[in-house]
Amino acid sequence: MKAATTRAAVEAEFPGLIAAAETARLRAYAPHSDFHVGAALLFDDGRGERFVGGCNVESDVYGLTICAERNALFAAVAQGRGEPLALAVVADTDEPVAPCGACRQVLHECDPLRRMRVFLVAGAGDAVRETSTAALLPGAFVLDTGDARRRSPWR
């Protein structure tokens, strides 16, 4: 992971990003783990709202549970959004929490040009860690190593 930063620094560069992730976290449905996570993607594509949020949604069948990061990514793809500039992930923890392995793989696939900035944010306090999709999953599985733009889900 990259350097530690602060909420104020992220908000200065990407106003509203962390707040959008925090709002999404409030909608999390986590009756089993009680671990609430929110994510927000920032877009500057002129196709609707600047932020697309997602929260974790748990199921009694654990394999059907979806994490906040994938929820936000899939919603943005379904909306036909352009390439996201940044992602913030907020968990109800004292320290930033990294995405699970499945989310790391999907993030890697959804950022074929490796330009998306990723901010992991503690729900309490000021702790923020900036990273990238490449740093989150070094040596990632890639089915097709052809043209990165062709593999991009962003329209």
**pLDDT tens-digit map of 78-103:** 999 999 999 999 999 999 999 999 99
The model carries a pTM of 0.93
What Cα–Cα distance (Å) separates residue 145 from each residue in 106, 140, 155? 15, 11, 19
Catalytic residue list contains 69: yes
Is the distance from CB of 124 to CB of 150 less than 8 angstroms? Answer: no
- At 4, the pLDDT band (50, 70, 90 cuts) reads confident
**Identified catalytic residue from 58, 69, 83, 109:** 69
Band of residue 48 on the pLDDT scale cut at 50, 70, 90: confident
Q: What is the DSSP letter of 64?
A: G
Q: Is the pLDDT of residue 9 over 70?
A: yes
What tens digit of pLDDT does each residue of 127-143 get? 999 999 999 999 888 87
